[in-house]
Amino acid sequence: MKPFVKLNGLVAPLDRANVDTDAIIPKQFLKSIKRAGFGPNAFDEWRYLDHGEPGMDNSNRPLNPDFVLNQARYQRAGVLLTRENFGCGSSREHAPWALEDYGFKVIIASSFADIFFNNCFKNGMLPIVLSAQDVDDIFGEVAAIEGYKLNVDLATQTVTTPSGKSYIFEVDAVRKHNLLNGLDDIGLTMQQQDKIKVFEAKHKLAQPWLFN
C-alpha cells in the first residue's frame, strides 16, 4: 500500500449529506475485474450530462456545468470536503478506488459510513472527521477564497488552513502507523499465523460443526 504522510492540497467542496457509494461510482462500472481506472467515472451521473457506460472515451463526454467538481477552480483538488455520513450504502471498494484515482487523498466530513471509512485506509487515503461546525467554517472559507488549500499532516494529526488555524483530528493508532508506513495489512496479519492456528484448533474443538 502507498503510504500517506502529509498533503498540501486544493480543497473541493461537495455540499451535501449522505453521499452514497452508488453516487460515487455507479453500478455499471463495478463490472470491471480491475482495481484501477475508475477515476474518470467518479460521480459519473452528476458529472456528465450523458449516460456513462464502461469502455466509453470519457474525455469526449459532455460535462455537467452545474456539478461543483467541474468548476475550473476545483480542478486537481486533492482534498474533498463534504457533509455527514459520506460513503453510505454499498461496501464497494470501487468508491475509494474511484476517488483516489480521481486525485483525492484526503476526505473531510463530519461523519463517514463505517465500511467506506475502513476501505479508505486500505488504499492510502485519509478520511478525517471534524465537527459539523468546523466543517461548516471550512465550507465558508473555501467558497470565499479561490485556490484554498489545506495542509494535512497525519503525524501531528492536524489540518491547517491558509490563515494558520489548525484543527486536530482523531485517528486510530494502528491505522495511523500502517498508513504512515504504507504497511500491508495481510503481511502484518500473516505474522500472527501461529496464533491463528492455535485459535482455529481450539475453536474447532469447541464448535466442530463450523468446520464441516
Partner 1 sequence: MAKTLYDKLFDSHVVHEENGTALIYIDRHLVHEVTSPQAFEGLKLANRKVWRVNSILAVPDHNVPTTDRSAGVAGISDPISRLQVQTLDENCAEYGVTEFKMNDLRQGIVHVIGPEQGATLPGMTVVCGDSHTSTHGAFGALAHGIGTSEVEHVLATQCLVQKKSKTLQVLVAGKLGHGVTAKDVALAIIGKIGTAGGNGYAIEFAGSAIRGLSMEGRMTLCNMAIEAGARAGMVAVDDTTINYVEGRPFAPKAEQWDAAVTYWKTLHSDEGAKFDSVVTLKAEDIQPQVTWGTSPEMVVGVDGKVPSLDSAKNEVQRGDWERAYAYMGLTANTPINEINIDKVFIGSCTNSRIEDLRAAAAIAKGKHIASNVKLALVVPGSGLVKAQAEKEGLDKIFIDAGFEWREPGCSMCLAMNADRLEPGERCASTSNRNFEGRQGQGGRTHLVSPEMAAAAAVAGHFVDVRQFV
Cell readout for 207 is: 464448535
Q: What mask, x for binding partner 1 by CB under 8 A, covers residues 80 to 119? A: ---xxx--xxxxxx--x--------------xxxxx--xx
How far apart, in whole angstroms, are the C-alpha atoms of residue 66 and residue 114? 30
- Residue 205 in the binding site for partner 1 (CB under 8 A): no
Contact (CB, 8 A) for 3 and 124: yes
Q: What mask, x for binding partner 1 by CB under 8 A, covers residues 13 to 42? A: --xxxx-x-xx--xxx-xxxxxx-------
Task: Give alpha helix (H) positions in 145-191.
Answer: 173-181, 185-190
Instruction: Rank residues 9 and 86 by Cβ distance to partner 1 and give the closer one.
Output: 86
Nearest 5 degrees, angle CA 55-CA 60-CA 65? 115
- Residue 208 in the binding site for partner 1 (CB under 8 A): yes
Q: Which amino acid is at 18?
A: N
Closest distance of CB 39 from partner 1, Å = 16
**Number of CB atoms found within 10 A of residue 20's CB:** 15
Strand 149-153, strand 79-82: pairing: unpaired
Residues in 126-165 at the binding interface with partner 1, rule: CB under 8 A: none
**Number of CB atoms found within 10 A of residue 98's CB:** 24
Closest distance of CB 45 from partner 1, Å = 5
Which residues contact partner 1 (rule: CB under 8 A)?
Answer: 15-18, 20, 22-23, 26-28, 30-35, 45, 51, 54-55, 83-85, 88-93, 96, 111-115, 118-119, 122-123, 172-174, 185-186, 189-190, 192-193, 195-196, 199-200, 203, 206-212
